């Protein structure tokens, strides 16, 4: 029952999803444009940063993380943290070979 | 309408939050599945930067960008179908779900043309053409086929899943007061979208 109240308060209208979609499309155009500019060193970093912003928008708005209870956010952060740890450990090991 | 809502609340025992939490837990296993592949990708890209750069030129950036747009749009229509069912607009919700399935199919058709074009150029796992190249390029295309292929399988699964949801919405199993199944299918679909958000720059945009 609590869930119902909480849902009706937080459920979004159509507008926000269309807005987020526009943002995602714009970011896609930006990432393609940046890749075309050939600034070598920065391209991977820029591409990954833009991809992360897009993923953040999808997670918070499309996947409703923003309107879920905090537990969900904590879970996602922990999951991503473990993936991050895998990357850090792998590369710290790999660098010393 | 308020009376039906009331009965639904007092007599049906269900745990929508728990249901969504279960779906998220499943999505974490997907994260690890693809995460492992991204790990392999990053190590080999680190080891063969030039070969990856050279091999990525073979991929069609326009096609990749177009498919990204298709998938992002399908994610939006999926999210909108949930708003529609929340507002009791059943027909609109069904339409939006069907558009989502159509866009997913469109994505796969593009992918099919992309892959067959590569096959015609003799670039497929184990082909003579590919084996004559350096190990970096072989690895790039191996990862390309495995990762986009696995992603493609997820797109197919998503299509079936959303198809089942459409049927349930039509049969009033998914309604204004009970739509957690649709939400969970949506969560899966958005994850497939997020994976593509990372696959696209990592394979198509290496300059």
Cα separation of A10 and B52, whole Å?
Answer: 45
Tally the domains of chain A: 2
Taking CB atoms and an 8 Å limit, are B31 and A32 in contact across chains?
no
Choose the most confident range, by mean pLDDT, from A13-17, A39-43, A65-69, B65-69.
B65-69
Examine the domain organization and report whether A55 and A74 are in the same domain: no
Residue range of the domain that includes A15: 2-63
Taking residues A82-90, report their average pLDDT: 94
Model pTM greater than 0.80?
A: yes
Examine the domain organization and report whether A16 and A55 are in the same domain: yes
Mean pLDDT, chain B, rounded, equals 92
Mean pLDDT, chain A, rounded, equals 86
Examine the domain organization and report whether A81 and A39 are in the same domain: no
Examine the domain organization and report whether A9 and A51 are in the same domain: yes
- Is 50 exceeded by the pLDDT of residue A6? no
Contacts of A44 by beta carbon, 8 Å cutoff, 6+ apart = B206
Examine the domain organization and report whether A8 and A53 are in the same domain: yes
For residues B119, B120, B121 and B127, what is the CA-based torsion angle, rounded to 10 degrees? 50
Share of chain B above pLDDT 70, in %: 94
Which residues partner with B178 through β-bridges?
Answer: B175
Taking CB atoms and an 8 Å limit, are B75 and A64 in contact across chains?
no
Of A34-43, B11-20, B166-175, B195-204, which range is least confident? A34-43
**pLDDT tens digits, one per residue of B165-206:** 999 999 999 999 999 999 999 999 999 999 999 999 999 988
Taking residues B110-130, report their average pLDDT: 91
Phi, psi (degrees; rounded to nearest 5) at B59: -85, 145
Examine the domain organization and report whether A20 and A41 are in the same domain: yes
Domain residue ranges of chain B, discontinuous segments joined by +:
16-204
Examine the domain organization and report whether A11 and A52 are in the same domain: yes
Phi, psi (degrees; rounded to nearest 5) at B174: -95, 120
**Long-range contacts of range A11-18, CB-CB < 8 Å, 24 or more positions apart?**
A11/A67, A11/B83, A11/B86, A12/A61, A12/A67, A12/B83, A13/B83, A14/B80, A14/B83, A16/A61, A17/A61, A17/A62, A17/B76, A17/B79, A17/B80, A17/B83, A18/B76, A18/B80
Q: Looking at the complex, does the CB of residue A64 fall below 8 Å from at least one CB of chain B? A: yes
Per-residue confidence (pLDDT) for residue A40, from 0 to 100? 64
Examine the domain organization and report whether A56 and A84 are in the same domain: no
**pLDDT tens digits, one per residue of B134-149:** 899 999 999 999 999 9
| Residues of B in Cβ contact (< 8 Å) with A35 | 61, 201, 205-207
Task: Provide the CATH number for the domain formed by B16-204 in this structure.
Answer: 1.20.120.80
Q: What's chain B's Rg over C-alpha atoms?
A: 20
Per-residue confidence (pLDDT) for residue A35, from 0 to 100? 83
Taking residues B98-116, report their average pLDDT: 97
ipTM strictly over 0.85?
A: yes
Taking CB atoms and an 8 Å limit, are A94 and B76 in contact across chains?
no
DSSP A84: H
Residues A37, A38, A44, A45: is their CA dihedral positive or negative?
negative
Examine the domain organization and report whether A13 and A33 are in the same domain: yes
Per-residue confidence (pLDDT) for residue B57, from 0 to 100? 87
Per-residue confidence (pLDDT) for residue A34, from 0 to 100? 87
Closest among B118, B121, B113, B123 to B67, alpha carbons compared: B113
| Residues of B in Cβ contact (< 8 Å) with A91 | 42-43, 46
Taking residues A80-97, report their average pLDDT: 90
Examine the domain organization and report whether A20 and A50 are in the same domain: yes
């Amino acid at each position: 029952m609590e869930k119902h109240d909480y849902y009706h308060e937080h459920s979004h209208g159509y507008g926000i999803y269309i807005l987020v979609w526009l943002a995602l499309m714009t970011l896609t155009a930006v990432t393609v444009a940046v890749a075309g500019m050939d600034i070598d060193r920065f391209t991977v970093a820029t591409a990954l940063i833009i991809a992360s912003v897009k993923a953040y928008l999808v997670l918070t708005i499309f996947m409703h993380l923003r309107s879920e209870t905090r537990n969900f956010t904590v879970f996602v952060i922990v999951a991503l943290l473990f993936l991050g740890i895998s990357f850090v450990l792998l590369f710290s090991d790999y660098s010393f070979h | 309408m308020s009376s039906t809502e009331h009965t639904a609340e007092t007599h049906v025992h269900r745990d929508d939050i728990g249901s969504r939490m279960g779906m998220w837990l499943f999505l974490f296993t997907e994260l690890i599945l693809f995460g492992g592949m991204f790990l392999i990708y990053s190590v080999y890209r680190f080891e063969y930067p030039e070969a990856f750069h050279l091999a990525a030129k073979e991929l069609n950036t326009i096609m990749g960008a177009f498919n990204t747009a298709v998938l992002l749009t399908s994610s939006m229509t999926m999210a909108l179908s949930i708003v529609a069912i929340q507002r009791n607009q059943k027909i609109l919700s069904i339409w939006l779900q069907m558009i989502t399935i159509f866009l997913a199919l469109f994505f796969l058709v593009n992918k099919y043309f992309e892959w067959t074009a590569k096959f015609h150029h003799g670039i497929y796992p184990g082909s003579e053409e590919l084996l004559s190249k350096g190990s970096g390029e072989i690895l790039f295309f191996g990862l390309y086929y495995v990762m986009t292929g696995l992603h493609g399988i997820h797109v197919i699964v998503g299509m079936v899943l959303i198809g089942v949801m459409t049927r349930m919405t039509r049969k009033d199993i998914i309604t204004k007061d009970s739509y957690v199944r649709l939400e969970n299918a949506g969560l899966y679909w958005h994850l497939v979208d997020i994976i593509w958000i990372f696959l696209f720059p990592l394979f198509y945009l290496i300059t």
